[in-house]
A and B are shown apart, each in its own frame.
Chain A
Amino acid sequence: MSTNPILKISKVSRTFGAIQALKEANFEINEGEIMGLVGENGAGKSTLVKIISGFDPGFKGSYQINGKEVKFETPSQAEESGIAIAQQELSLIPNMSVAENIFLTGAKVKKFATLNTLAKMARPYLDEVGLTEVDPTTRINLLSVGEQHLVEVARLISREAKILILDEPTAALGEAESRRILEMVERLAANGKSIIYVSHRLDEIFKITKRITILRDGVSQGIQETKDIDVNKLVEIMLGRELANMFPSKADHISDDPKLEVKELWPDGVLEPVSFSAFKGEILGLSGQLGSGAGEVLASIAGALQSRSGSLTLNGETFLPKSPSHAIKKKIAYCSSDRKKDGLFLGRPIFENLTSPALGAISKYGFNFGSSEDNYSKNLAKEFLIDVKRMHDESGLLSGGNQQKVALGKWLSIKPDVLLVNEPTRGVDVGAKSEIYQRMRELAARGITIIFASTDIQEITYLPDRVITFYRGMMIDEHRLEKIKTPLILKEITDPFNETNL
């Protein structure tokens, strides 16, 4: 088994400013092997993938292909050496045919080629990825997302890629389509291609890989033989236990007094209506992967996403928010997952961001001459440990962590009863993460009901008092306090129905 690896990376380090994304990480893959690459968000997976595929030449360490040291300056150089990557966001052109997309770069194609010629050339590649029934002259946007992924891979194979990197190929796919991808991966490996399979879905990792490389905080945790390891062990290696310290302790007990009752809420992206309650002063976590519906439920409580049916009961009133401003009037605050898109006014000063949801509170008869706004925004800033001296700076100049604090802190201005947070710490450094968790706990202790959705398994395990799990648009289960266990939750958000027979 231990032949010479076709690709070997040893002691690779990469720093971005003060952040060390990779610390002497090692990686290798043999010919015809499927190597799993796992790690939580921010563990350095994407950095490693970028280095392998030539997108990121600025690393230190050794990178060998077939035992020869290489140095790729651009992705196309990596491609010439047979390394190709299928990104999560596909790079297909929707209005062009399958065949045209496969030969998009024009290499190996005659100067004048009709669609028919291209279609004939594309056939064998499509067969190889399992798209035997797809006509190569079909337009790309008529295929399903899963089929588009397969076309993307066919394109990579057509350029004689020997090592394929698949970055979360099934993240946006349903069960049947995911199965096609997995079948393709196995077929390709049988044909002698090496495949680096990056995924959050541990069931898939266990199903198809022979070996697994685990990254944690930029350090590779050794290569594990898949058959020697189980989910619990894998998660333990992925997370490391000591990081649990950055989370504040949980509430002593959960009050039984429901603050917000959600009845039969049914937004797009969720398969069946969802009902649950949130109690006063608790932190409730909605756990699920991308596309599981957890984020959609949160957005529809906030009125940011329309719900087909259902109602909320808060403070004795029953209503269904039609818009964010409606929800804000009812004291429901919602911090979205993408602060640059709809969380912050990046070009405006910090103090304007902080007071933006509560202009009525800082003005008299609609007029605002600054003094009360000054105090108001400074108090908010102090509460969230934002530098008061920088209040007049544009919020776009802040670091990710500080931006997140502003995006969250601005909602305190409306004195919310319910605070909804989607991905509270996406793109936030560890220090700010800890501060944000601390603040969320303090706010809950003050009586605010906090509901957050997260794909970060650590956060979901250690921050909330209760967890509700979601899987592909369905609500699966609910856990309380000490019954919140990482392996159980992981299982419920990746494979609740034992479809993979782990």
Chain B
Amino acid sequence: MSAIIENNQLPFSAKFLQFYKDRTLLAILLSLFAVMFIYGIFFTENYLTITNFKAIIRDAALYGIMAIGLTFVTLSGNFFLLSLKETASICGVTFAMGMATGFGSPDLAGNFLVSLLAALAVGVVSGVIQGYFVGMGGNPIVVTLGGAGILYGIGAWWSDNLVINFTRPHDAEWLGTGSFLGLPSITWSFILIAIAAEIVLRHTNFGRKVYLVGANKAAGKATGHENFSMAIIVFTICSVCCAFVAVAFVAQMDSAQSNYFSAEFGSSGDMTILVIATVMVGGNSIMGGYGSTLRTSLGAIFIAMVDNMMVLQGFNSGPRIVGVGLMIVFSIIVFGLFAKGSRAQE
């Protein structure tokens, strides 16, 4: 015992306070978690059940994975990929096409690997093209909004706006509805991707470059780290994350349609808004250079908890989308205020 006290001269409470002081943003998020959790325990039925928490993490996984991809874009100072749901949509359509028709060759119909690779390839291509234009100096908002229109349009055109069904049993069930050690596959994916992303950001040269370029593009260029290649890579990472989520979601639904990730469809509202909200609520700097995928993951779980609470309280989708919107505004205000105090701005 005495050794421990020697090593940690500060009493635990003081250390706890110091931890909070150093990490104001994280502290706010954790406190909100706690408040929500306690409120849930006392005022919401069926809240404190394992099933419910599995449901929360499962919900968080879908937009959490996309948000982790988007975090790379935001951290590198390239703002947002606004074609998130459209990328997911066209990748979902591609996957379903592969599963249902094998892209015209009946031999390949229902081949999971081919369909998966095709969907990921579509994600890579759209990410590279959008990243190229942003890297050349295009405004990320304009480029990716244009990209959104084109991607959604192609998906809708290709699928004739129809629902593409493929019947069970199929090879993708393990990803869509399967589980391992009691947790759904998509949850495992979320956990693994979150860990991998955090390692990449913290412990690789690429991760360091993401932060440096995000903190100051001009200085990045002067030290040999150009935003051109950076933009292509981060947009590709983000698009591939969208593609993966689309595949998992389509595998779960056994069908795809081009508007699957839009507001009028899913219970969780508009996917693009949700994912951007996740990155913002995590407290990542919109201007880049500051934040982490860990924050994003916590943000995803936080949003899923709020959404879950609202579902259990009997709200329908309208008010829940309003809730997500409020969280974006709130996070910008709160984190904006605290960021001023804790970071040198100029």
Contact = CB atoms under 8 A, between A and B. Distances in A.
A28 to B, nearest CB: 37
A360 B222 contact: no
Contact of A359 (B208, B218, B290): B208
A357 B223 contact: yes
Contact of A363 (B204, B218, B220, B290): B204
Contact of A342 (B203, B219, B343): B219
Interface in A322-366: 323-325, 328-329, 334, 336, 340-348, 352, 356-357, 359-360, 363, 366
Contacts of B23: none
Given A366-B206, A368-B204, A396-B346, A345 B215 contact: yes
A147 B211 CA distance: 44
B104 interface: no
A360 B203 CA distance: 13
B346 A360 contact: no
Query: Quick one: which of B215, B220, B221, B343 has the most chain A CB within 10 A?
Result: B215
A360 B205 contact: yes
Interface in A299-343: 304, 323-325, 328-329, 334, 336, 340-343
B189 to A, nearest CB: 23
Contact of B208 (A328, A347, A368): A368
A68 B282 CA distance: 60
Nearest to B208: A359
A119 B212 CA distance: 51
A369 interface: yes
A194 B218 CA distance: 43
B212 A345 contact: yes
Contacts of A357: 223-224
A416 B225 CA distance: 17
A357 B289 CA distance: 17
A363 B224 contact: no
Contacts of A433: none
A345 B224 contact: no
Contacts of B290: 347
B223 A367 contact: no
B204 A340 contact: no
A397 interface: yes
B111 to A, nearest CB: 34
B208 A352 contact: yes
A340 B222 contact: no
A394 interface: yes
Contacts of B289: 345, 347-348
B344 A394 contact: yes
Contact of A328 (B206, B219, B224): B224
Contacts of A359: 205, 208-209
A329 B290 CA distance: 28
Contacts of B204: 363, 366-368
B218 A341 contact: yes
Contacts of A397: 344
Given A323-B226, A352-B208, A357-B223, A347 B218 contact: no
A346 to B, nearest CB: 6
Contact of A324 (B205, B206, B221): B221
Contacts of B216: 342, 344-347
B25 to A, nearest CB: 14
B24 to A, nearest CB: 14
Nearest to A328: B224
B346 A346 contact: yes
A343 B219 contact: yes
A347 B343 contact: yes
B233 to A, nearest CB: 13
Contacts of A324: 221-224
B151 to A, nearest CB: 31
B289 to A, nearest CB: 5
A410 interface: yes
A328 B222 CA distance: 9
Contact of A348 (B212, B218, B225, B346): B212
Contacts of B343: 347, 394, 396
B203 A304 contact: no
Contacts of B345: 396
A363 B206 CA distance: 11
A344 B219 contact: yes
Given A347-B344, A396-B344, A396-B346, A342 B212 contact: no
Nearest to B216: A345
Contacts of A356: 208, 212, 219, 223, 225
Nearest to B342: A394
A396 B344 CA distance: 6
B296 to A, nearest CB: 18
Interface in A109-136: none
Nearest to A395: B344
A348 B285 CA distance: 13
B167 to A, nearest CB: 44
B195 to A, nearest CB: 15
Contacts of A360: 205
Nearest to A327: B224
A347 B222 contact: no
Contacts of A369: 203
Interface in B148-173: none
Nearest to A299: B222
B346 A328 contact: no
Interface in B120-171: none
Contacts of A348: 211-212, 215, 289
Contacts of B219: 341-345, 356
A410 B223 CA distance: 9
B222 A368 contact: no
A366 B215 contact: no
17 contacts: A325-B224, A328-B223, A328-B224, A341-B218, A345-B220, A346-B346, A347-B215, A347-B216, A347-B343, A348-B289, A359-B209, A367-B203, A367-B204, A368-B203, A368-B204, A394-B344, A410-B223
Given A324-B222, A336-B222, 6 more contacts: A323-B221, A328-B224, A341-B219, A356-B219, A367-B205, A394-B343
Interface of B: 203-206, 208-209, 211-212, 215-216, 218-226, 289-290, 343-346
Q: What 7 pairs between A and B have smallest CB-CB spacing?
A: A396-B344, A325-B224, A342-B218, A345-B215, A359-B205, A357-B223, A328-B224
